[in-house]
Amino acid sequence: MRNGALAVLLTAGLAAAAPAATQQPRRRAPPPAPPRVAPAAASHVPTPRSVLGFDPGDDRKLADWPTLTRYYQALAQASDRMQYRELGKTTLGAPLVALVISSAQNLRRLERYRQLNARLADPRTLKTAREGQEALRDAKTVVLITSGIHSDEVGGHLTPAVLAYRLASDTSAATREILDKVVLWLVPSLNPDGVTIVTRWYNRTLGTVAEGSDPPELYHHYVGHDNNRDWYAFTQVETQLVVDSIYNVWHPQVVHDIHQQESDGSRLFLPPYLDPIEPNVDPLLVDGVNALGTAIAWELAGEGKTGIAINALYDAWTPARAYQHYHGGVRILSEAASAKLASPIDIPFDQLATRARGFDPRERSWNFTNPWPGGRWTLRDIVSYQTDGAYALLENAARYHDRWLANFLVVEGRAVRGWKGWPYAYVIPRQHQDTVGLATLLGILRRGQVEIRTALHPMTIGGQRFPAGSYVVVLRQPYAAFAKTLLEPQHYPDLRLYPGGPPLPPYDVTANTLPLLMGVTAVPARDSLRIGLSPPLEPPAATPGYPGFSGPDAPRVALYRSYVNNTDKGAIDEGWTRWVFDTWKVPYASVVDSVVRAGKLNDQFDVIVLPDQEPHDLLEGLPREYPAPYAGGLGPEGVKALRQFVSDGGTLVALNDASRFAVEQLLLPVRNVLEGVADDEFYAPGSIFRLELDTGDPLARDMPAQSVAWYESGPAFEVLDSSAARVVGRYPTDPDRVLLSGWALHPERVAGRAALVEVKLGSGRVVLFGFRPQYRGQSIATYPLLFNSLQLTTR
Ligand SMILES: [Zn+2]
């Protein structure tokens, strides 16, 4: 019998009521089913309540990270089905942990299963067909479930506890099959620091008008919500630990990442993803994603859950969120509707949003078969959808164990043989490169398990000569797709809402060409190189640093830090800037609204940096519901202080959208030519543009005349008074030369326009960037522009 017989009966009752609910969608939602409990729970296994002090899903109850880790330790202590591992320490020093879960028998032979999977991951290690068959027969499906990367998606804090308890205690045949056929790695939080940040804020504001609000700080110390955009650049320690110790060691066939979405759309999103799918992903993995996502949705619908959307909202273009799509496995994203952190909400049916992409939450469609009727939505609902979804995924991984493993071997076999039409290799010379960029790029490939070799002899490709010692990445290896995706330019398809209509936005950005971003040349070689290559080697380590930031003459840098966080933009760019400064050893002080408003800024600072942020957020800050000192932004006093600071000789550096703030508030003689331009007249939502620089200008010191700009919905400038404003960088006048990678609709709108401008004001200056010079820790090619801008004030 299936596990949770009682719950199945209960949910069957709900399922019977569902058609009526669909026809009369305004009636109240039926009460949520209680979480399925194990019918014959082994009594020695501690319940979540016994350690957390409440049942996961109880309204207004969250646990901090030390409490949650105590629970996982207690579980592993009591159960022979799981082991507790500490992978390392987070950015703020908390333990990053994982549970490995399988049958007691499997856990005793864990090393053997790791070896078997490693052989399937690299078919070159299988000497005969028979060895392959034996490995397929003996191996286990490896599943990695990760949760809580976005810490305000609080269901993800608790669901792993419920899931782990179920797997530790349940004695049903279904659970036994999972434990027998699957080795599960469960990472209960990819961002433990954020669990504590959000939980502390939630408890502090409980019962106040700010209850359920986001904390006024990034929930990841450096990158906030962008921590899920780091799965190829590997800048953050949490990403590094999980990639190094689980992905690269265990090569999971199935990765499941648990998230939450807006409150007013579907109750749960599951794949298939929307187009576009990144073209280097093996088609069999796309098939796997489609089959598994749909199977989970079907399973949950059978249990009586409504409001499940597939093939909506989320595409599979960027590798920034999908490491395993380039490493032989599928990535199943789930996105449950949010409440207000742990506080319940009420959403009448007619307030469900119709703006959702790919479906309408108020109408039945093939990919949204049974609308949720509206009503109360609680943390318990979220935990229930997430836990049952993860369990259904595990059942599938066990039931189709043979298929998952066979397909895994097929995908890796095709990668090793090479895909028709792909270059044979990429050649990366050592000379004339940005040395930190080169080391960083090679380090990323290496961390992604790409084999890097060097040429033993000189060679010529397309008339260009490359010396012996040049790096060579042959695209016939298990993770060739990872290398190709990061080395080639992207051609994002021109997708519209309807023919001739506005552009369909990508879920994230459209470009990820690392050689462009890092100032490195990588040349594709169509054919075999016909020269000897070294064995795979370790690339040199990067040693970031920039002159002019040490000693008594170093500029006194202030970095503005907004309390508006964790929205699409928020202060995430501030976090990235801080990360770049820390990594490159640029000294700085963080300044908040009250410091700027207080004025006398020249006494303390030579330069103030405003990171990329909406002008409205900079000016107004957080709403009044927030307690002091968080509400209100820079305000008129802050603007006045900034104006004084510049007039008295200071430098204000404004990045991307913050440039619009500076132009508007300081009344600079510069016009944003894209102000008010509709998306169908110009659109580039995260692309790499060509940038032409005036290398005689101090701002462009140490830069080549031709560089790049990470363009992401920023301004482009026209100078209205050339006696006060100087153009240092602009986009090419030929529209066809603007775009280097990604997507740009109507590039003629920005062709020839200024991208980097210095404006004199009093005895100081404002530097306006129309792009992001330190984009997500990747655009190393343009870091010097930012660093130079910090050194303009003379004391
Ligand atoms: Zn999320």
How far, in Å, from the CA of 733 to the mean position of ligand 1? 40
Q: How far apart are CA 747 and CA 160, in angstroms?
A: 46
- How far is residue 146's CA from residue 254's CA, in Å, rounded to a whole number? 11
d(CA 435, CA 440): 8
**Which residues have CB under 8 Å from 508's CB, separation 6+?**
229, 317, 318, 320, 321, 686
Q: How far is the CA of 228 from the centre of ligand 1 (A)?
A: 8
* pLDDT-derived band at 72, boundaries 50, 70, 90: very high
Q: Is a pLDDT exceeding 70 seen at residue 576? A: yes
Convert 758-781 to b/e letters by CB count within 10 Å (16 or more is b). Answer: bbbbeebbbbbbbbbbbbbbbbbb
Number of Cβ within a 10 Å radius of residue 646: 24
pLDDT band of residue 635 (cuts 50, 70, 90) is: very high
pLDDT tens for 459-474 read 999 999 999 999 999 9
Do 156 and 163 form a contact (C-beta atoms < 8 A)?
no
- pLDDT one-digit tens code per residue, 416-451: 999 999 999 999 999 888 999 999 999 999 999 999
CA of 265 to the centre of ligand 1 (A): 14
Q: What is the pLDDT of residues 188-242, one digit of tens each?
A: 999 999 999 999 999 999 999 999 999 999 999 999 999 999 999 999 999 999 9
Question: What DSSP string describes 701-717?
Answer: TT--SEEEEEEES---E
CA of 483 from ligand 1 middle (Å) equals 26
pLDDT score for 357 = 83
Condensed to tens digits (0 to 9), the pLDDT of residues 736-770 reads 999 999 999 999 999 999 999 999 999 999 999 99
Query: Hunting for tokens 């990535």 — which residue is that?
Result: 331
pLDDT band at residue 108 under the 50/70/90 scheme = very high
CA of 720 to the centre of ligand 1 (A): 43
User: Ligand 1 centroid vs 240 CA: distance in angstroms?
Assistant: 19
Distance CA 625, CA 640 (A): 25
pLDDT per residue as tens digits for the range 539-552: 999 899 999 999 99
- CA distances to 151, 486, 570 from 220, in Å: 8, 25, 13
Distance 153 CA to ligand 1 centre (A): 6
Contact by Cβ (8 Å): 62, 341? yes
For residue 363, CA distances in Å to 62, 360, 370 come to 34, 5, 8
Which residue's structure tokens are 């660093």?
A: 787
List all residues 6 or more positions away from 500 whose beta carbon is below 8 Å from its beta carbon: none
Whether 27 has a pLDDT exceeding 50, the answer reads no
DSSP string computed for 298-310: HHHHHTT---EEE
Model pTM score: 0.94
Q: Give 479 Cα–ligand 1 centroid separation in angstroms.
A: 26
Strands ordered across the beta sheet of 330-337: 82-89, 95-101, 182-187, 141-147, 254-261, 330-337, 268-270, 308-310
Q: Give CA–CA dist 254/328, Å, rounded.
A: 9
Which whole number is the average pLDDT over 523-540?
96
Residue 152 Cα, ligand 1 centroid: separation in angstroms? 8
More confident residue, 582 or 19: 582
Q: How close is the Cα of 259 to the center of ligand 1, in Å?
A: 4
Which residues, by Cβ under 5 Å, contact ligand 1, an ion?
A: 150, 259
Ligand 1 center from residue 258 Cα (angstroms): 8
What is residue 433's predicted lDDT score, i.e. its pLDDT?
86
pLDDT at 68 over 60: yes
Q: What local confidence, expressed as pLDDT, does residue 37 receive?
A: 46
Distance 445 CA to ligand 1 centre (A): 26
pLDDT at residue number 500: 87
DSSP 152: T
Could you give the CA distance from residue 37 to residue 19 in angstroms, rounded to a whole number?
Answer: 26
Centre of ligand 1 from the C-alpha of residue 584, in Å = 29
Q: How many whole angstroms separate alpha carbon 144 and alpha carbon 146?
A: 6
**Ligand 1 center from residue 320 Cα (angstroms):** 13
CA of 260 to the centre of ligand 1 (A): 5
CA–centroid distance, residue 101 to ligand 1 (Å): 24
Please say if the pLDDT value at position 87 is more than 90: yes
pLDDT value for 320:
97
Cα-flanking dihedrals φ and ψ of residue 706, to 5°? -110, 120
Neighbours of 740 (CB within 10 A): 20
Read off the pLDDT band of 566 (50, 70, 90).
low
Confidence of residue 794 (pLDDT cuts 50, 70, 90): confident
| Ligand 1 geometric centre to CA of 157 (Å) | 12
Residues 6+ apart with CB under 8 A from 283: none
Using the predicted structure, report yes or no on whether residue 488 has a pLDDT greater than 90: yes
The CA 340 to ligand 1 mean position distance, Å, reads 14
